[in-house]
Structure 1
Amino acid sequence: MLTRIDLRGRDIDPRNLLPRARIDVSQAVEQIRPLVDGVREHGVEAVKEATHRLDGVDLAALRVPAEAIKEAEQALEPEVRAALLEVIARTRKVHADQRRSDHTTQVVPGGTVTERWLPVSRVGLYVPGGLAVYPSTVVMNVVPAQAAGVPSLVIVSPPQKATGLPDARVLAACALLGVDEVYAVGGAQAVAMLAYGTRGTADPERELPAHDDCAPVDLITGPGNLWVTAAKRLVRGVVGIDAEAGPTEIAILADDTADPAHVAADLISQAEHDPMAASVLVTDSPALADAVDAELAVRVARTKHSERVATALGGPQSATVLVGDLAQGLRVVDAYAAEHLEIQTRDAREWAMRVRNAGAVFVGAYAPVSLGDYCAGSNHVLPTAGCARHSSGLSVQSFLRGIHVVEYTADALRDVAHHVVALANAEDLPAHGEAVTARFEGGAA
């Protein structure tokens, strides 16, 4: 089922040989540009039109009524409530330790720089609702934002055709977290609405009913499909974004000690997200690769979303990569920079601590990716498509901004003035130096 790439004995950079999903975000950007421009100019009307045309839902109001959020929480199945509360507790515990503290450095006597960490004022959190619904993603977005101290949180999630509202489990998760500003909007129109608001530039002072009046945000986070990713790219700069999330991916570095049933089950678990999801096995054991293929043949046929899984595993984004030894395997997984990386080898933690590029690393036989998706306490909003080489997953830091506060006395400034003047003149910016020397003209200070 998985194609094979044999890198044994090949001492080359593996990046161009590894499987990847074939996605053209640039083309998608041009396709949704008119939609985003329409929302920017016309606001709520454009949002409703796009929702009708793309989702088949006619929205009387964009904002979800408070009663609907409360009702969803009250109707939540007891076992799902208990699971969500456990996820919230564990995620809060991990993210509480991520909050940075302000710090003052005395550079010289009389001269200090204080680094302050302040939360973004208003954040828009995107929760998908296409092939699957993700109440767990509500937790993963909201908890770090709340830990950072963000004062204004808004959630957007696609409306379901049957109700015109986001999925009830998504709404219930919002209630459990105390989030009451929720909009039944998804796709590119949701991203545009968060970036530009619903008043529109054509008439920015017009009055809107409260249920249609969404103020712009400063930062947008959360995963979504290709159109959401394209819209985030288009509005970047108007607002901040966390990342351009692509299809989910798992890589597993395994040797002959790995259980092929575990490996196969984990590859399938990510493949069921999306036909474009990537599942990659990197191993120095051909026998394990054969055993995993045999397990996949049995397990794919009996899993619920077998057609979706088979498409993902058989696509160009998925493969088994054979390596000569685990040292080469480590180079391969570092080059791949997976969103999720499992280490199922002898001395798994030792190998895991040598990994440089991954969104999250799962160590040993009893830390599968699905644990991280829900109950590990880690965040499941992670960089994809190799972005783990330069980017991190969602955390409290994603919602904080560092601001330097500079305080110098007259004596401290006088002591360094000649250096400022020298550098200002070297860069042909003499007024920079004069802004310092002016403070000491005529014996002042």
Structure 2
Amino acid sequence: MIGRLLALAVAAFLASPATAALTPAEQRMAATVQAENDRTLGLLERMVNQNSGTLNLAGVEAVGRMIRAELEPLGFQVRWIPLRETGRAGHLVATHKGRAGTKRLLLIGHLDTVFEPDSPFQRFVREGNKGHGPGASDDKGGVAVMIAALRAMQAAGTLRGANVTVFLTGDEEDAGSPQAIARRDLIAAGKAADVALDFEGLVRENGQDMGSVARRSAQDWVLTVRARSAHSSGVGGGSGYGAIYELTRILDTFRRELPEPNLTYNVGLAGGGTTAAFDAGKARVEATGKPNIIAPVAVARGDLRALSAEQIARVQAKMQSIVAQNRLAGVTGAELVFEEGYPPMAPTAGNRAILDRLNRVNADLGLRAMPALDPIKRGAGDISFVAADVDGLIGLGPASSGDHTAEERVDLPTIPLQATRAAILMSRLARERR
């Protein structure tokens, strides 16, 4: 009964005026996505039920094998790039060679999630039109959309001539170190491509699907302050103020003087006292001290997010000048260190042109145009590592809520919607001359 209702729904869709602008091959893609939706959801469930927290290297590899089994029958040459030396599992890369001289597409997603094996959140549960589970959207839902779109292209014959590289990282949620190795192959793939499409989630605002042509950077920083220690009876006098007061001065000056458009600055962890130090993962700080001792050390850690390399360089220089200026009495040193991070993806004319192409697909499907999303509403991601070399578009995955929490839910009807959009967009781009 369900299959018959689905067939009727597909027939009604293809008979509607909205699809009149679609070619027969594009109508075939739309029909295939709908007809295979149960298969796609089955793949999503299997992926979600396999834990692939970034640090679960075997789990990440297992999800990679699931995707290999999907791509090889479509004619992709699939290889696994092991990266144990970075502390991570590695990446899956699949290539499909098509007609010479046509645009080369790079499809980006990731196999890992933020939920490690010790998380109580481990299984996929269907809740009506929602799928509840770890990574159900971010990014296993996006990978499911990608596979559904490629299968639709295969069924319609448009994959045959397409030059496509699928690049699924195993450490998007927590990149391996050093990044020079962890992102080496992704950067090389970007240099070899003409268009990059990111299959992380679709953002909706008040029911409106949004297009994403930019995303901000993400870079952590560590601040360490040292000062003379003494009895608290001398605080503010000859003994100075100690490290905690100086740390507070610096952080509050950041708060007052750094704000500008598209920039956010956060303090996520701080501590000070007679001793203060981060653990190996810099996720905890251990401090000791007493109320009657002027603190000789204080530390803080946070992140910085910006929209362009120029903005990052300028803000970092301003932060360093704040650290260096007008130190309180008794301070013996202050050091601000910026760690490796995710670069920004600036909103270029080339990126906007790809969104325009997607909106022509939307028009031919009878869907509303997708306005460009404010980049401050989008987190960092892997496509930013190739943004300097290739035009790109973000958000080809499904809509969701609660990502990175135990409330993560994917909007299941947006999986076939996004797969249809992606299949038609990729087919049109893939036949264009370079």
Choose between structure 1 and 2: higher helix proportion: 1
TM-score in terms of structure 1 length: 0.22
Choose between structure 1 and 2: higher strand proportion: 2
TM-score in terms of structure 2 length: 0.22
